[in-house]
């Protein structure tokens, strides 16, 4: 198939693009190389895609906010399916720059959906976020849980979902919204709890927890996220739907930090800093809907996944660590 992965130089997008290439598909990555973190990581991500298949891979530098570019890429490459991974990341940063997030995350998805409608794309799979839930009325979150977004980032993600639903209903563009729950794994972006904890512990520095550490997260391993997306190439069972993609488990940030300390053998004491605005207190996914519609079954629990990430980090430390610590 001819597949467009927007945001394909990023963590999730590049892992997805690389797997699609290994499956024999032709992949176009559209990415604006936003320097939200060190671009050296994105350059390595693109290199991994090129190594997977140089003759079935193309990189286009540009933004989904460029309407003419998006239309041209979709039309000239005769795109079958679009994986919309492009998004301005960062819950905390969005509080300071709400207009930038609105421009990138809302205008971007509208341009993608317009191009999909004009060119009869078979499906648009939109990367959404557990942040749309906000304050929990109950846990685990199912898809019927009310939405109380606590940051501009979360608002843009929820708006993007609604745009997908509208284009599905009014323009006949098959769309699926996948609500990711804190994705982690090889090549993950540096300013996340797991990458920070591992980096600091491997350098005999104490992990820093923001707040009391009792907040909990449903961490989802990258391979499980990629598998959920790949299934949507083969089935229309989820068209028009919104689904949680999580691990079906959660862990406190304190427990996570303690586990990283133990696994790395660091002789350090955990330290605490002031809690950050807009961070969710708890997340936990009910993935039964995804199980029913696409046979989604998360295969990697947090401890196994963190151990894998530590092994990967150590094997790739020469290039990855300087970029993590500079971001």
pLDDT at residue 278 in the model: 65
Kindly report, residue by residue over 170-208, the tens digit of the pLDDT: 999 999 999 999 999 999 988 899 999 999 999 999 999
Please state whether the peptide bond connecting residue 140 to the residue before it is cis, i.e. omega within 30 degrees of 0: yes
Q: How confident is the model at residue 92 (pLDDT cuts 50, 70, 90)?
A: confident
b/e code 208-240 from CB counts within 10 Å (16+ = b): ebeeebebbbbbbbbbbbbbbbbebbeeeebbe
Residue of 284 and 325 predicted with greater confidence: 284
Residue 306 domain flag: no
Sign of the four-CA dihedral 141, 229, 187, 42: negative
Domain region containing 72: 2-182+221-247+289-298
pLDDT at residue 230 in the model: 98
Residue 214 domain flag: no
CA distance 70 to 33: 15
**For residue 294, pLDDT beyond 70:** yes
Residue 208 domain flag: no
Kindly report, residue by residue over 245-290, the tens digit of the pLDDT: 999 889 999 999 999 999 999 999 999 998 876 677 889 999 999 9
pLDDT at residue 25 in the model: 97
Query: 123 exposed, middle or buried (CB, 10 Å; 0-12, 13-18, 19+)?
Result: buried
In total, how many domains does the chain have?
1
Q: How confident is the model at residue 71 (pLDDT cuts 50, 70, 90)?
A: very high
Residue 315 domain flag: no
Residue 156 domain flag: yes
The structure tokens listed for 172 are 């006949």
Query: 274 exposed, middle or buried (CB, 10 Å; 0-12, 13-18, 19+)?
Result: exposed
Query: Mind telling me the catalytic residues?
Result: 153
Where does the chain show beta strands of DSSP type E?
Answer: 2-6, 26-31, 57-61, 81-84, 123-129, 175-180, 183-184, 208-210, 216-217, 220-221, 241-245, 251-252, 271-273
**For residue 152, pLDDT beyond 90:** yes
Between the alpha carbon of residue 124 and those of residues 7, 157, 177, the distances in Å are 14, 15, 9
**For residue 27, pLDDT beyond 90:** yes
CA distance 286 to 143: 8
Residue 304 domain flag: no
Could you give phi then psi for residue 54, rounded to 5 degrees? -75, -30
Residue 96 domain flag: yes
Kindly report, residue by residue over 124-142, the tens digit of the pLDDT: 999 999 999 998 999 999 9
Q: Which position has the token pair 């608002």? A: 155
Kindly report, residue by residue over 32-70, the tens digit of the pLDDT: 999 888 899 999 999 999 999 889 999 999 999 999 999
Q: What is the DSSP letter of 31?
A: E
Look up the CATH number of the domain holding residue 124: 3.40.50.720
CA atoms within 13 A on the CB side of 61: 5
Average pLDDT over residues 241-247: 97
CA distance 240 to 176: 6
Residue 18 domain flag: yes
Proportion of the chain above pLDDT 70, given as a percent: 99
pTM of the predicted model over 0.75:
yes
**For residue 84, pLDDT beyond 80:** yes
């Amino acid at each position: 198939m001819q597949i467009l992965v927007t945001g394909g130089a990023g963590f999730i997008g590049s892992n997805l693009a690389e797997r699609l290439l290994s499956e024999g598909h032709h992949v176009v990555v559209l990415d604006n190389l936003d320097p939200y973190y060190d671009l050296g990581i994105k350059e390595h991500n693109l290199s991994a895609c090129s190594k997977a298949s140089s003759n079935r891979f193309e990189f286009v530098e540009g933004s989904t906010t460029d309407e003419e570019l998006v239309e041209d890429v979709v039309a000239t490459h005769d795109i079958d399916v679009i994986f919309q991974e492009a998004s301005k990341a960062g819950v905390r940063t969005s509080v300071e720059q709400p207009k930038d997030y609105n421009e990138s995350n809302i205008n971007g998805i509208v341009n993608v959906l317009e191009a999909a409608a004009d060119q009869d794309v078979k499906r648009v799979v939109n990367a959404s976020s557990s942040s749309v839930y906000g304050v929990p009325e109950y846990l685990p979150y199912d898809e019927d849980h009310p939405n109380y977004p606590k940051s501009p980032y979360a608002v843009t993600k929820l708006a993007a979902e609604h745009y997908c639903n509208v284009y599905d209903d009014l323009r006949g563009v098959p769309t699926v919204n996948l609500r990711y729950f804190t994705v982690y794994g090889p090549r993950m972006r540096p300013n996340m709890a797991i990458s920070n904890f591992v980096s600091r512990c491997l350098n005999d520095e104490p992990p820093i927890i923001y707040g009391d550490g009792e907040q909990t997260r449903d961490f989802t391993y990258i391979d499980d996220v990629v598998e959920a997306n790949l299934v949507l190439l083969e089935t229309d069972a989820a068209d028009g739907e919104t689904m949680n993609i999580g691990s079906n488990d959660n862990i406190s940030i304190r427990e996570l930090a303690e586990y990283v300390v133990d696994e790395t053998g660091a002789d350090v004491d955990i330290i605490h800093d002031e809690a950050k605005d807009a961070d969710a207190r708890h997340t936990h996914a009910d993935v039964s809907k995804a199980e029913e519609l696409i046979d989604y079954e998360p295969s990697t629990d947090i401890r196994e996944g963190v151990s894998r990430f530590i092994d990967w980090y150590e094997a790739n430390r020469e290039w990855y660590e300087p970029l993590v610590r500079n971001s």
